[in-house]
């Protein structure tokens, strides 16, 4: 089963509103990452938060990480129509001798209405 | 697009035939990954590589094999394609270590009829 699971599966908001999505995972991690995917395209990396960090900001993005609850949240503030996309969390964990394994959740589809 | 090329971009094949997808990078990154993306399942890891000739299985490796004989190429082979392997396949690369942000290719849409 997948390491990360996002919630909600879909989100519809008006332009200017904030969008929040959550990610839960199962095992200990090195870091957690968020990616965006526009329809029919490859994923684009947004932000990475290490396991010893609790919050990180990048532009209009704010990510939190709670390792005790094995969960993370992504907040997009003042959303724009161009933020319409699917958002995925990805967990990175190290496997002895086999390097880093990067696994993704099912994603949250965000629709920002103008 | 971070120097990643997937080929072919689209393919239709018949059930039972072998299929090989290629991922080529010009970044000299250590890690390479193959994922499949299906509605309702997000991205699922098939196989990944942490160096030349070093590979490991992911969540959905049955029916797939991989090879990496040089840093820049990571091949995914469907030994005998089935309709359940109809999907969009993405290759990704990363530096590894603590800087594991991944860069993705544009995807290969495979249809098995």
CA distance linking residue A41 with residue B90, whole number of Å: 10
CA distance linking residue B8 with residue A97, whole number of Å: 32
Dihedral sign from CA coordinates of B84, B85, B89, B92:
positive
DSSP state of A104: E
Q: For residue range B50-64, what is the model confidence (pLDDT) as tens digits? A: 899 999 999 899 999
Q: Do A45 and B101 touch (CB under 8 A)?
A: yes
Q: For residue range B6-33, what is the model confidence (pLDDT) as tens digits? A: 999 999 999 999 999 999 999 999 999 9
B46: nearest Cα among B16, B7, B87: B87
Q: For residue range A6-30, what is the model confidence (pLDDT) as tens digits? A: 889 999 999 999 999 999 998 888 8
Which of helix, strand or coil describes residue B84? helix
User: Do the beta carbons of residue A72 and residue A22 sit within 8 Å?
Assistant: yes
Decide which of A101 and A52 is more confident.
A52
Query: Considering only residues 24 to 53 of chain B, which have any Cβ-Cβ distance to chain A shorter than 8 Å?
Result: 30-31, 33, 35, 40-45, 48, 50-51
Phi, psi of A106 (to 5 degrees): -80, -15
Give me the pLDDT at residue B98, please.
Answer: 61
Give me the pLDDT at residue A93, please.
Answer: 77
End-to-end CA distance of chain B: 31
Dihedral sign from CA coordinates of B56, B81, A41, B67:
positive
Taking CB atoms and an 8 Å cutoff, what residues of chain A touch B51? 99
Does the pLDDT value for residue A57 go beyond 90? yes
CA distance linking residue B14 with residue B8, whole number of Å: 16
């Amino acid at each position: 089963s997948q390491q990360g699971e996002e919630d909600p599966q879909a989100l519809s908001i008006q332009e200017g509103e904030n969008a929040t999505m959550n990610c839960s995972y199962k095992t200990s991690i090195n870091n957690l990452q968020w990616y965006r995917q526009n329809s029919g395209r490859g994923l684009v990396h947004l932000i990475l938060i290490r396991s010893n960090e609790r919050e990180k900001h990048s532009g209009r993005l704010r990510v939190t990480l709670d390792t005790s609850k094995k969960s993370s949240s992504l907040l997009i503030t003042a959303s724009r129509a161009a933020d319409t996309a699917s958002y995925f969390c990805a967990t990175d964990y190290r496997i002895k001798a086999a390097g880093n394994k990067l696994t993704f959740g099912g994603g949250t589809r965000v629709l920002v209405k103008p | 697009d971070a120097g990643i090329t997937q080929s072919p971009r689209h393919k239709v094949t018949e059930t039972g035939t072998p299929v090989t997808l290629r991922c080529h990078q010009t970044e000299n990154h250590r890690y390479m990954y193959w994922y499949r993306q299906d509605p309702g399942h997000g991205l699922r890891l098939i196989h990944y590589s942490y160096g030349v000739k070093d590979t490991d299985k992911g969540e959905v490796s049955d029916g797939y094999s991989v090879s990496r004989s040089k840093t820049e190429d990571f091949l995914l082979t469907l030994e005998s394609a089935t309709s359940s392997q109809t999907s969009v396949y993405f290759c990704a690369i990363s530096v590894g270590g603590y800087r594991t942000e991944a860069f993705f290719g544009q995807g290969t849409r495979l249809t098995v009829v």
